[in-house]
Structure 1
Amino acid sequence: MSEQSRFMLVVSPLMENSPAFDRAAALAKASDAALHIVAFDYLEGLATAGMVNEQALEQMRIGYVERHRQWLEDHARPLRKIGVHVTTEVVWVENPLQEILIHLKEQPMAALIKALEYESLLSRLMFTPLDIHLLRECPVPLHFVSHAQQALPRKIVAAVDPFHRDGQYEGFNDRILREASKLANTCNATLDVIYAHDLSSIGADEFGFDNASAFFSSGKAKTLFDAQGDAFRELAERNGIPAENQHMIMGNPAKVLSSYADAYNIDVIVMGRVGHRGLDRLVGSTVEHLLYKMPCSVWVISPEELVD
């Protein structure tokens, strides 16, 4: 039997409960996985308190870390009683991103679970939040938990784009559906698949037209629509998704997915993270646009295959 899989839960340095804690515990129990809970502590006021000497400051820091460690242990104890193997850790570090990535490299995890920290648009424009950094750089499935109505998801949606013109991501949609199916089976949840297609994002010049109006008034648009539908159905069928659970909806992907999740009380949406370089990276991906708008939690898959 292979080594037991592990989830990593990153918790707040403020010793606050969140839906992410309950979600991580429920997933670990349902999948018979271990759970590693880690807090990356750093309190600006404590770290820069100039009114005390360095030795006293160090004692304050040690005391806070120890209190947090005990807090984590108090929350881990009930989980151990129900059979979940739980380990806890507290690390004092100002910038946790690199520490998180190092942890994931040294201790392979099935997924990283974290409560989504809401940031204003102005704040996101001024600096890049940790959650966005993780979204771009986390090498394992990343589960941002928000609006969790129940610990274990019951309604899951996978978002795919089978008509992606970049061959770099060939097979990525299958990977998204495999991960979504695995999650749904673990949680005994329903799984639907959505392809939100937006013809307005397609350049008419790609199909030999000088302007978009000529393209959309021609039969080429219908031909493209039919090809998209065939690609979507083929993808869904080879991954065992029944026809009644396949949904091809025209519109802006961010708006389509958000509206669908809200209308059908979706618990988790599984999406792929597409890498961006240069100006495209500044613009961001669909999942970045959705992160703070979705009425449910998000499970993000990286396109890179991991090396064990």
Structure 2
Amino acid sequence: MSMQPRLMLVVSPLMEHNPAFDRAAALAKAEGAALHIVAFDYLDGLATAGLVNEQALEQMRLGYVERHRQWLEEKARPLRKLGIDVTTEVTWVERPLKEILIHLREAPMDALIKTMDPESWISRFMFTPLDVQLLRECEVPLHFVNTVTHARPRKILAAIDPFHRDGCYKDLNDRILAEANKLASSCDAQLEVIYAYDLSSITAAEYGFGNGSTFFSSTLARQLYEAQGATFQALAERNGIAAEQRRMIMGDPTKVLASYAGAHDIDIIVMGRVRYDGLDKLIGSTVESLLYKMPCSIWVIAPQPVD
């Protein structure tokens, strides 16, 4: 007997409804999943209030947490009437990343859902927002909810890169397509698969063709394009993606994916992320650069842990 899927919705410490509530409820209903809604509360003004003693401050914190708990229960009641198994939790914690990861270890989830918090580029440069921290550290599928036109997604786009130059992510594309297929099937949504490729930044030496400063000739570029096309078609074929669902578009992946999603009313784009070591964390990845640019929501798949 298969176990019931479980989704975790992380909500703001502020008691406000946002699109992630509607998306989480729709996905839980479509997948027959249990939904755990958790708020990690911490308000700077309350936490650092210096005009009251510690006992009074603790009572204020407890009072806020209890009000938030009651507020979440009010949000949960109509979902339970729809047949969704909903639980709620409120915890007071200053830095939620560690607590979120502990929650996921202690009670494994099929996906973590969260509203994408807007951050200025200056803020992202100076600090690492929680969304980016989760993107780098979370091992379960991670759904960042942006604007929501349809609570239950109607159009899903899976973005893949079948031409990795090492073997670290050889299974990631199949996992992306498996997750996208499952999501599309449970939501009765349309699925497309896109490979945005960019030959402009590739040098011949990366693939063993002479001097590293030498750019591809047109012949070599065509050969590489054909090789990538064949790999893409084989990948799609073994994952049951029909020919009419496949898109291979040349251009900078960040620009291609954002433009395609906006032009085709995509609700969710399913992508993979790479692992970070040392200074690589400063560089980021395609999915990280898209996080604040996409006109739709993002579903991120992490690579399998390296043995």
Rounded Cα–Cα distance in structure 1 between residues aligned with 2:218 and 2:272:
32
* Mapping of residues 13-92 of structure 1, within 5 Å: 13-92=13-92
Q: How far does residue 304 in structure 1 lie from its aligned partner after superposition?
A: 1.4
2:238 corresponding residue in structure 1: 238
Residues 270-295 of structure 1 show CA distances to partners (whole Å, capped at 9, x for unaligned) of 00011122333211000000000000
Residues 95-150 of structure 1 show CA distances to partners (whole Å, capped at 9, x for unaligned) of 00000000000001010000000100000000000000000000100000001101
2:111 corresponding residue in structure 1: 111
Q: How far does residue 211 in structure 1 lie from its aligned partner after superposition?
A: 5.9
Q: What amino acid is aligned across from residue 278 of structure 2 in structure 1? A: G
Rounded Cα–Cα distance in structure 2 between residues aligned with 1:139 and 1:211:
35
**Aligned pair 1:124/2:124, yes or no?**
yes
Q: What amino acid is aligned across from residue 24 of structure 1 in structure 2? A: A
1:227 corresponding residue in structure 2: 227
**Aligned pair 1:210/2:211, yes or no?**
yes
Secondary structure of residue in 2 paired with 1:216 = coil
Secondary structure of residue in 2 paired with 1:222 = helix
**Aligned pair 1:255/2:250, yes or no?**
no
Rounded Cα–Cα distance in structure 2 between residues aligned with 1:201 and 1:164:
14
Secondary structure of residue in 2 paired with 1:45 = helix
2:136 corresponding residue in structure 1: 136
Q: How many residues align?
A: 306
> Is the Cα contact below 8 Å between 1:215 and 1:221 reproduced in 2?
no
Q: How far does residue 305 in structure 1 lie from its aligned partner after superposition?
A: 5.6
> Is the Cα contact below 8 Å between 2:261 and 2:294 reproduced in 1?
yes
Residues 149-191 of structure 1 show CA distances to partners (whole Å, capped at 9, x for unaligned) of 0100000000000011110111110110000000000110000
Q: How far does residue 18 in structure 1 lie from its aligned partner after superposition?
A: 0.5
Secondary structure of residue in 1 paired with 2:200 = helix
Rounded Cα–Cα distance in structure 2 between residues aligned with 1:200 and 1:136:
27
Rounded Cα–Cα distance in structure 2 between residues aligned with 1:247 and 1:72:
42
**Could you say what the CA RMSD is over the residues aligned between the two structures, in angstroms?**
1.4
Rounded Cα–Cα distance in structure 2 between residues aligned with 1:60 and 1:46:
8
Rounded Cα–Cα distance in structure 2 between residues aligned with 1:158 and 1:283:
23
Rounded Cα–Cα distance in structure 1 between residues aligned with 2:290 and 2:240:
27
Secondary structure of residue in 2 paired with 1:169 = coil
Rounded Cα–Cα distance in structure 1 between residues aligned with 2:278 and 2:108:
30
Rounded Cα–Cα distance in structure 2 between residues aligned with 1:209 and 1:247:
31
> Is the Cα contact below 8 Å between 1:276 and 1:285 reproduced in 2?
no
Rounded Cα–Cα distance in structure 2 between residues aligned with 1:201 and 1:181:
31
Q: How far does residue 200 in structure 1 lie from its aligned partner after superposition?
A: 1.9
Rounded Cα–Cα distance in structure 2 between residues aligned with 1:101 and 1:304:
16
Secondary structure of residue in 1 paired with 2:168 = helix
**Aligned pair 1:102/2:102, yes or no?**
yes
Structure 2: state its 5+ residue gaps. Answer: none
* Mapping of residues 264-283 of structure 1, within 5 Å: 264-283=264-283
Rounded Cα–Cα distance in structure 2 between residues aligned with 1:166 and 1:258:
26
Secondary structure of residue in 1 paired with 2:224 = helix
> Is the Cα contact below 8 Å between 2:269 and 2:297 reproduced in 1?
yes
Residues 59-82 of structure 1 show CA distances to partners (whole Å, capped at 9, x for unaligned) of 100000000000000000000111
Secondary structure of residue in 2 paired with 1:167 = coil
> Is the Cα contact below 8 Å between 2:202 and 2:215 reproduced in 1?
no
Rounded Cα–Cα distance in structure 1 between residues aligned with 2:85 and 2:62:
26
2:171 corresponding residue in structure 1: 171
> Is the Cα contact below 8 Å between 2:202 and 2:216 reproduced in 1?
no
**Aligned pair 1:299/2:285, yes or no?**
no
Secondary structure of residue in 1 paired with 2:15 = coil
Secondary structure of residue in 2 paired with 1:249 = strand
Q: How far does residue 306 in structure 1 lie from its aligned partner after superposition?
A: 11
Rounded Cα–Cα distance in structure 2 between residues aligned with 1:270 and 1:62:
39
**Aligned pair 1:184/2:184, yes or no?**
yes
Q: TM-score, normalised on structure 1?
A: 0.97
> Is the Cα contact below 8 Å between 1:261 and 1:296 reproduced in 2?
yes
Q: How far does residue 243 in structure 1 lie from its aligned partner after superposition?
A: 0.6
Q: TM-score, normalised on structure 2?
A: 0.97
Rounded Cα–Cα distance in structure 2 between residues aligned with 1:222 and 1:276:
32
Q: How far does residue 217 in structure 1 lie from its aligned partner after superposition?
A: 2.6
Rounded Cα–Cα distance in structure 1 between residues aligned with 2:212 and 2:155:
42
